[in-house]
Structure 1
């Protein structure tokens, strides 16, 4: 674990819960060609859409050891849901005798849609057509009370959780053909379990070899959402839905970027770190992993010497988005331009974001670290319950990032409305 100092106003119980669920997501199975869950035994599937790359990107194709459960390596390992094209999300609203759904089940559905679909459309530049479907528009009542399942921290491999999945399948199967869907969203009535500010129960699990089957396919690709996240200001209606894009990020193969210390390593620069408070997109590295960037939009700065690159705002379609500087076969630095637009509506200091990606660090253990250009400034966002320190981490015109040991220097040369120009200097080529 690589903890970072955290100033988040968040309860100790919740931090413990975050750490406990950080390594619960495994690869799921899809079959090539149709995007459906693989029938029969557990086996690697099609995985995300093919990564756009050229031979020049070879040195930047970092990878993790096999022991890493969910690696930041490129390309994403086989077995995850496709992240481009049409993806059908089976969405079920579930309640219990001791936690009956309050109001219409469709009201629960509307807490997350159409916002989640729009969030993915914006982040992917239209390359992901995310379609939530509700074949059962009412509350799906479970045969046992919530308390009887013994779910405390969302651990999907606990016996109680496996029993819950089996019961969901049994109750939904008469009206649902599970072969028709790419992933499962279970929207649990929010009065089941504690509030999210106390303990996080929301969790995603996939690729579980012991997952029950339905219609001949394993239900091994599921996100469970309980109480929504809040930034402490009562902003549920505006920000609460983002817990679902975070959980679905795991379905596409992305790891948790927070640690037991909270969002101190990445802050709100990626929804896989903090999905409440200030709005946040995916990092450019993640967009490349997900197939949302073309090879022409990714620069691989692996050679010795000095070279200049142009970066355009990550939130806007088109133009170069990412420069990667490999350090070794497992890690490197990433550069991208973040401005206030799209899913980055709350960026308070536009500029070049510099972060290190380590494919050998597991989910929830700090696989990405953002470098702060303004250390101990307190940040520029004032949203409550958010790790504010890194909100002004970006590098502005005339500022530089340097790793003397690696012989790397990055300088922001010029900042224009639609592009920034950076100079990358390497004392030696990547090994």
Structure 2
């Protein structure tokens, strides 16, 4: 049966126990969660920036992993560099007529989403939202008739919805002209996002309905509003869309069924509420936003020293180190500071995390290690996983994997805001 990816975000993150300490010893076992196999697709994302010296760091998932952290990203997803055109339609229903104006709904997400991607990609992604239909696009059926609820599969409800969107948009929209589809549902259709999260993305869907000769294979649907009454929604609520669009570029979910405790606020694919946050350096390499000159593949045995430049800072310099543990996983090392999209960083420093390409989306493919175990964190935002907010390692602190013989020691920062680290491989 052709594969479609279902994406469901939890209402709020569960509090999980931290798994690391100042001097950290970790297990070397890997998770084995698997889902149904993914059907290969045709068109692919931009080619990964790589060289022969980086081949050992191009980890890959097994054949049963649907949406993997592996490099390069398989075909079927949207391009993630250069100019991409996002067809953006505002949709309502007879039993849920448009709340406010369609233009108002559009402005909840733009130009903020475009600016977020511009900043995160260092200008390498020119994201262009296009709205050939500026009014509410009325569906021929009631919202209730589609049977859309949390966890709803693509068939039959979403298939009918996509077919009806295509029919209603014709002939005003030529679907061949766009890279992916954003559907902004009127917020009064379905429950509040604080009660049940319906926002979903179907990415790399080879079984999608065809419009103008092309499949609507990458489509994000956004419902309701993540408004908790704190007044922050107007500033941060748009970020549900960059999260969903991350999937059309081939990025997996980093939270698990238990919540966002494995990665916290260090990647928008883990948490997309609260104060602003960026993507992990691994994801930026995966998306083609980092060059090989900015990524160090650490394969040599012994101890080597490196200078890390802040991930948020545009320009040259090493942004990411990766220590492969085999063909499926490895440790990533990067410098996170309060700059760019990383508004919520309350403890700058060196972030260490494990990437496992053999763990599927939503099952914890990335684990951030906490330099301040059981501290409660340093953030005051009620919508951020607090425990991991102070996870980065600072001068004099180190991460250790005793089983693998890997050690990362932070030496200190220089006057320009770069940080020196040493990496040891046994």
- Give yes or no for contact 2:35–2:65 (8 Å, CA) kept in 1: no
Secondary structure, counterpart of 1:186 in structure 2? strand
Aligned to 1:351: 349
1:223 aligns with 2:228: no
For 1:259 and 1:241, the matched residues in 2 are separated by: 22
In the alignment, is residue 251 of structure 1 matched against residue 248 of structure 2? yes
Match of 1:413 in 2: 411
CA-CA distance at 1:207 after TM superposition: 2.9
Instruction: Please tell me whether the aligned partners of residues 232 and 384 of structure 1 are also in contact (alpha carbons under 8 angstroms).
Output: no
Query: Partner of 1:74: helix, strand, or coil?
Result: coil
SS class of match (1:355): strand
Structure 1 residue 360: Cα displacement: 0.2
Measured against aligned partners, the alpha-carbon deviations of 1:210-263 in whole angstroms (never above 9, x if no partner) come to 311111111111000001334662311011000000000000000000011111
Partner of 1:38 in structure 2? none
Cα root mean square deviation, aligned? 1.9
- The TM-score normalised by the length of structure 1 is 0.89
* Alignment of structure 1 residues 352-367 onto 2, 5 Å: 352-367=350-365
Q: Matched residues in 2 for 1:363 and 1:394: separation?
A: 24
TM value normalised by structure 2: 0.90
Shift of 1:77: 1.0
Distance in 2, Cα, partners of 1:133 & 1:341: 29
1:156 Cα offset (Å):
4.2
Taking the aligned partners of 2:43 and 2:279, their CA distance within structure 1 comes to 22
Distance across 2 between alignment mates of 1:25 and 1:275? 27
How far has the Cα of 1:63 moved from its partner? 0.4
Q: Does 1:148 align with 2:156?
A: no
SS in 1 for 2:165: helix
Whether the aligned pair in 1 keeps the contact of 2:34 and 2:359 (CA below 8 Å) is no
Shift of 1:278: 2.5
Tell me if structure 1 keeps the 8 A contact 2:40–2:75: no
Q: In the alignment, which residue of structure 2 is the partner of 1:235?
A: 232
Residues 1:372 and 2:380 aligned together: no
State which of 371, 385, 407 in structure 2 corresponds to 1:387: 385
1:251 and 1:285 map into 2 onto residues whose CA distance is 17
In structure 1, the residue matched to 2:293 is 296
**Alignment correspondent of 1:35:** none
Instruction: State the alpha-carbon separation in 1 of the partners of residues 204 and 364 from structure 2.
Output: 23
Q: Deviations over 1:90-148 (max 9, x none)?
A: 00000011111112100000000000000000000000000000000000001111011
What is the Cα deviation at residue 268 of structure 1?
0.5
CA distance in 2, matches of 1:210, 1:52: 30
**1:191-210 mapped onto 2 (5 Å cutoff):** 191-210=188-207
CA contact (8 A) 1:325 1:333 kept: yes
Match of 2:85 among 55, 73, 88: 88
Report the 3-state secondary structure (helix = DSSP H, G, I; strand = E; otherwise coil) of the residue aligned with 2:341. helix
Q: What CA distance in whole angstroms lies between the structure 2 residues aligned with 1:23 and 1:190?
A: 34
Describe how 1:50-69 pairs up with structure 2 within 5 A: 50-69=47-66
Q: How many Å separate the matches in 2 of 1:275 and 1:356?
A: 21
Q: 1:180-208: CA deviations, max 9, x gaps?
A: 00000000001111111111110000232
Q: CA offsets per residue over residues 320-346 of structure 1, 9 Å max, x none?
A: 100000011100000000000010011
Q: Is 2:271 the counterpart of 1:274?
A: yes
Tell me if structure 1 keeps the 8 A contact 2:92–2:136: yes
Aligned mates of 1:381, 1:133 — CA distance in 2? 36
Q: Check the 8 A contact 1:109/1:187 in 2, yes or no.
A: yes
Three-state SS of the structure 2 residue aligned to 1:349 is coil
2:118 corresponds, among 92, 117, 121, to 121
Aligned length: 396
Which 4+ runs in 1 deviate beyond 2 A? 5-8, 22-27, 42-46, 206-210, 228-234
1:78 Cα deviation after fit: 1.5
* Alpha-carbon distance in 1 for matches of 2:266, 2:277: 6
Local SS of the residue matching 1:204 = strand
Distance 1:70 1:57 in 2: 22
Q: Which residue of 2 aligns with 1:18?
A: none
Q: Does the 8 A contact of 2:60 with 2:358 survive in 1? A: yes
Match of 1:172 among 169, 173, 176: 169
User: Structure 2 CA distance, aligned partners of 1:43 and 1:398?
Assistant: 47
- CA gap of 1:106–1:154, structure 2 versus 1, over 3 A, is farther
2:402 aligned residue: 404
